[in-house]
Amino acid sequence: MGTKKRIAVILASHGEAETGGFIENYRVSLHTLSRASAVMPIPVPLQHLISFSASLKKRLHLAPGSAGSPQNLLTRGQADRLRHHLERHPLASRIEFDVHAAHMASDPSFEKVLAGTKEHDGQIVVPMAPVDNSLSCGQICRHISEIQAPERLHRVKVIGRLWTDEALYRSCLDHLFGGSVRLPEKSGVGKALVLMFHGTLVRDSKGNEPSFHTGRAETEAFAKALAGHIAADPRNPWNTILTAYLNHDVGGEWTTPSIEEVSRKIGTDGFGDVSLFAAGYFSDGNETIHRAERLSLLYPGIHVESIPCLNDSPVFADYLATKVAVAATQILGFSGEDVRGDA
């Protein structure tokens, strides 16, 4: 047997501040807005003002020593789980999988990890979101074109359009109904599941449609399809499945129904048991972790349960390992190696 090929696998998440510290949150927020300004106009002074006010607000509302977002920790956990699965994969006899967690807005940065592994025999990038848009997969592809030599681009594979993959839907169902998640009793009525997705800009403050790819159509299609899969599953205990978008409050008009609108509906429609599942995210973070608490404060008489994202669950790691193995096979195939039967 010859020398093993070395392929980098980079899980690219958004990245969030891991502490409540002002400086860390300010830097992450500013980095996020700076990236966003590449596709939508955000004046630099406004970027600093938003970052300053948001970081100060978080610092004032968190107790000293409070933890920040769990997202980066969860992405590292996803990388560890994936590494473990790949080490046991048949391809491991021929490939050394070098698995990394990287982030677009915090450290370690995606660009740094990408540059540090560009001489590997291959690079596989997994944007850690089910739907692609200009701010995720678009910027990832731009960084790849800037960092990697043109003659080596055939050795780079970006795994996208995951929302179209039936295997992802099966993974979501296994996550929900596999026994690791608390579900309401199937008997009775008044049980709602709220599927939460990242909101997208519909029109800017001047009424114009965005000039960049927001992923809105794909997100809406993903939401509809996933709700249909869950409703059709015989293990489903919910009487009602609702879709809610987690929007920002700047920039113009955002997707509907928003989580605020859905929350009002929950309060007036007589639900007694509500489960929240952030299906549009692969890991929990600032946008998801406090939603159940906020809803409970609004309606103390309703039992509210938060279902974790796929996070570092074994079922998701197994799904990612399968996708990575296929991508690795394609990379080696493009290099003229016969890897049939290994993936």
Q: Write down all domains in the chain, each with its CATH number in brackets.
A: 5-15+69-165+314-334 (3.40.50.1400), 22-61 (no CATH), 182-307 (3.40.50.1400)
Instruction: State mean pLDDT over 184-195.
Output: 89
Residue 47 binned pLDDT confidence (cut-offs 50, 70, 90): confident
Cα dihedral 298/300/302/304 (nearest 10)? 70
207 three-state secondary structure: coil
Q: Does the pLDDT at position 284 exceed 60?
A: yes
Contact 242, 160 (CB under 8 A): no
Mean pLDDT over each residue of the chain, to the nearest integer? 92
Task: Tell me the chain's radius of gyration from C-alpha atoms.
Answer: 21
Give the range among 97-101, 177-181, 219-223 with minimum mean pLDDT. 177-181
| For the chain, counts of helices (H) and of strands (E) | 10, 10
Residue 56's pLDDT is what? Answer: 81
Query: What percentage of the chain carries pLDDT values higher than 70?
Result: 95
Q: What pLDDT shows up at residue 50?
A: 87
In single-letter form, the type of residue at position 115 comes to A
| pLDDT at residue number 46 | 86
pLDDT of residue 66: 64
SS3 letters across 288-305: CCCHHHHHHHHCCCCEEE
More confident residue, 26 or 324: 324
pLDDT at 64: 57
The candidate with the shortest Cα–Cα distance to 214, out of 260, 280, 277, 278, is: 280
Task: Give the per-residue pLDDT at 40.
Answer: 74
pLDDT tens, 227-249?
999 999 999 999 999 999 999 88
Say how far apart CA 110 and CA 315 lie, in whole Å.
Answer: 25
pLDDT digits (tens, 9 = 90+) for 57-86: 877 776 555 678 999 999 999 999 999 999
User: What is the identity of the amino acid at 5?
Assistant: K
pLDDT in tens, 109-141: 999 999 999 999 999 999 999 999 998 999 999
